[in-house]
Every structure is written in C-alpha cells, then in structure tokens.
Amino acid sequence: MQPFEIILEFFLREPLAHARWLNTLSYLEYAGARKLARFAQVQNCSEAVLKHVNEEWRHAYFLKQQIAHKLKIALPTYAPASLWGAGATLRYLDRLESSLCRHLKQQSREGLPRRTYLWMSYVIEMRAAVVYPLYNKLLEGHSSRVSVRSILREEEGHLAEMQAMLAAEENLAEAPLLLAQEQQLFEMWMHVLEGEMA
C-alpha cells in the first residue's frame, strides 16, 4: 500500500476524520478556483477558462454538501481545526504558484500570467488524476455513501483540455521539472498529514 493510500484509509475509518478530509479537498478546490478567477480577467476570459473556473467552484461546493448530507457532520467553514494539515493545506497552492512562477520567469516574463495559468492548471490536474481515482476506489471499497465520481469525470476532462492547450502554446519539455516541484510539495504535505495522524 502506498503512503497516500494509507493516509486515505486512516481518514475513512472515522466519520469526523473523513469529514475533515472532504473539507480539506473542498478548500483546495476553492483555493484553486480563486486562483483561476484571478487569472480570468476580461481580456483572458475565454469560454474554456470560464467553464474551468465554474467547475472548480462547483467541486468545492459539492464536497461541502457531501460532508453535510452524506456524513451528517457540520463543518461550515475552512477554519484550521476543520482541515487536515491546516497550515500546509492553506499554503499549498500559494507555494506551488511561487515555485512555478520562479521557474517560468527564468525562461521568459512574456505572457507570464497566461503561462502560469496553463502550467498551474496542468500540474494541479495531474495531481487530481492521482488523488481522485484512488479516493474513489477506496470509497467504493468501503461502501461509503460519499461519492466523487462526478468530480473525477470533470477532472479528467480538465486534464485533457490543459494538455491540449499546453501542447499548442508551451514547450512540453518543461513538464517533468514542474511536476517534480509539485511532487516535492505533495510529499511535504503528506508528511504533515502523517504527523497529525500519529
């Protein structure tokens, strides 16, 4: 069993732990939506970007609903006590954005907001392509009332869209390095979660 699977199994054993995990996921979707919305200024707000922002907001809301309606637990806000690894969780996407921006600036400052949007979205969708299928598999294995299948389908669509946009606009040779930066952050975040579980 992989380390992240062990973490998810731990969360699924107890309703409040599971609710905090859903709230943590909801926060990450919310934070991602805020970053996308910041990018979506009038001059850049294509139909594809608007759709992407809308779906990320909806994912955050959908996960909140799962807590209230499926687990019957009230976690109405993203207060630190209602999240796993609150400090690291609250800073995760900010740290990722800073890391990616530093690298992208070294290549060129031209079109930096657009390039940051493309790469941030791609890297996050690659992470979602690992997290959501594993979480969904474990939910089904536990016969949980919670479901993330609808999010999983949309995240697959987002990843395909981002891959196509990157292939058209960016040098894909940058992908392994940027994915490695996110992997390092993810491992640090997992370490924080493991510390809280102990």
List pLDDT tens digits, range 128-167: 999 999 999 999 999 999 999 999 999 898 899 889 989 9
Query: Treating both helix axes as pointing N-terminal to C-terminal, what angle do 112-141 and 175-197 enclose, rounded to 10 degrees?
Result: 50
Give the separation between CA 23 and CA 83, rounded to whole angstroms: 6
SS3 of the chain: helix, strand, coil, percent, to 5: 85, 0, 15
Q: What is the DSSP letter of 75?
A: -
Band of pLDDT at residue 37, cut at 50, 70 and 90:
confident
Identify the pLDDT of residue 41. Answer: 65
Distance of CA 86 to the CA centre of its chain: 15
- Is residue 172 a contact partner of residue 166, using CB atoms and an 8 Å limit? yes
Rounded to two decimals, what is the model's pTM? Answer: 0.94
111: which 2 tokens? Answer: 């079109």
pLDDT tens-digit map of 86-116:
999 999 999 999 999 999 999 888 888 888 8
| pLDDT at 127 exceeding the cut of 70 | yes
Percent share of the chain, pLDDT over 90: 73
Identify the pLDDT of residue 188. Answer: 97
Give the separation between CA 90 and CA 6, rounded to whole angstroms: 22
Going by C-beta distance under 8 Å and a sequence separation of 6 or more, which residues neighbour residue 161? Answer: 48, 52
* Residue type at 194 in one-letter notation: E
Give the separation between CA 53 and CA 61, rounded to whole angstroms: 13
| pLDDT at 49 exceeding the cut of 80 | no
| pLDDT at 195 exceeding the cut of 80 | yes
| pLDDT at 193 exceeding the cut of 90 | yes
Task: Scan for tokens 């400052």, then name that residue.
Answer: 109
Identify the pLDDT of residue 94. Answer: 96
Q: What is the mean pLDDT of residues 67-82?
A: 97
Band of pLDDT at residue 43, cut at 50, 70 and 90:
low
- Segment holding 155, helix H or strand E: helix 149-169
Give the separation between CA 154 and CA 175, rounded to whole angstroms: 22
Identify the pLDDT of residue 137. Answer: 97
Identify the pLDDT of residue 175. Answer: 94
| pLDDT at 50 exceeding the cut of 90 | no
| pLDDT at 39 exceeding the cut of 80 | no
